[in-house]
Copies of this chain bind each other. A is one copy, B any other.
Amino acid sequence: MKLLEERIRRDGKIREGGRVLKVDSFLNHQMDIGLYNEMGKEFFRLFGADGVTKLLTIEASGIGIACVAGQYFNVPVIFAKKSKTTNIDGSVYTAQVESFTHGTSYDIMVERAFLQPGDRVLLIDDFLANGAALRGLAAIVKEAGATLVGAGICIEKAFQPGGDTLRKEGVRVESLARIKAMGEAGIEFC
């Protein structure tokens, strides 16, 4: 998506020798809602014919784009909550997410009432790198017996393995901007 690539080139900041891309002036701290709308439309262009009944994202930075996209799909949006406590009453689906960046793991949870076997679920998130969060969301969709339609991602770090590994496993992953490489020389998109 040209608009997003141009914005990343203009306002993205590369940090830590090309390992970190800061896009917090428009994507995940301050949010450009005009851009969000264009991304939401694009997700609908890509997945609008797939009978999606729910959008599923993860707190916190996926929520905004999922809600704006939800307007085009006209379906409810669910965000998985990061949980410190293990579920004890069985009323939630849970999955463990390993954070490669921080070397830790955390649990995510979704109330069982909100995902049913008949649901066709599209995952939405702002970033895809190692794919740990997406993998956790996909596990919850599976646990619910629902159908995973695919994943709509704003920015994929294609030089990290998450996206391609998921694609090889048969998940349809559509990323609006795919970064092939980044460093002092700038950003190269796929």
Interface stretch, picked from A31-39, A128-136, A139-147, is A31-39
Contacts of A110 in B (CB 8 A): 29
Q: Mark A64-82, 1 if CB is under 8 A from B, else 0.
A: 1111101100111111010
A106 interfacial by beta-carbon distance below 8 Å: no
The number of times this chain is found in the oligomer is 2
* CB interface residues, A 19-66, toward B, < 8 Å: 24-26, 29-34, 36-37, 59-60, 63-66
Residues of A within 8 A of B (CB): 24-26, 29-34, 36-37, 59-60, 63-68, 70-71, 74-79, 81, 110-111, 113-114
Q: Is the CB of A30 within 8 A of B114?
A: yes
Q: Is the CB of A67 within 8 A of B68?
A: yes
